[in-house]
Amino acid sequence: MSNAKAGFVCFNARFSGASARLGVRNVARALRLWALSAAVAGLVTFGCGTPATLDITAPSSTVASSPFAITVTAMVGRSRDMVINSPIHFTSSDSAAVLPGDYYFTANDAGSHTFTNGVTLMTAGNQSITATVIGAPGLNGTTNVTVSAATALAQSR
């Protein structure tokens, strides 16, 4: 790998001299090493220069202590990553937030998963929710939600 950044994978291999005559064997060996390196690093293979992100869809505002749905979609450039099988972890600027546990995308998700009533923000103000691919901290997405204080009626439910 060279010039790789979190969320990017790039592979360059050069062969010269006697080893170049072995061609296919060296390329296959180099690809195996590269694939192992990418797997160990927790990176998703996309090709040089194509950014990978997680897009989060959530309401722009909510009332404190009211659960709501969020959808996380893995993207490569402008296309959905239909084959992601990496786990994601959620964090929030609201230290009292109730968030989904770590989630492993499956083939049935086709790169997008909705967490119905999966998030509850408890603290009024502007709050953020971030989803991050475990092992690849640069591969993430964040959304912001404005949280208003709960009314007495909402608190009694």
Looking at the domain 52-156, which fold is it?
Immunoglobulin-like (2.60.40)
Domain ranges of the chain: 1-50, 52-156
Is the pTM higher than 0.75? The answer reads no
> Are residues 128 and 108 in contact, defined by beta-carbon separation less than 8 angstroms?
no
Q: What is the pLDDT along the chain (157 residues), one digit of tens a residue?
A: 333 344 444 444 444 444 444 444 555 555 555 554 554 444 444 445 578 899 999 999 999 999 999 999 999 888 999 888 889 999 999 999 999 999 999 989 999 999 999 999 999 999 999 999 998 888 999 999 999 998 755 555 5
Q: State the Cα–Cα distance between residues 125 and 135, nearest whole angstrom.
A: 30
Task: Tell the burial category of 47 from Cβ atoms under 10 Å away from its Cβ (0-12, 13-18, 19+).
Answer: exposed
Rg of the chain (C-alpha set): 21
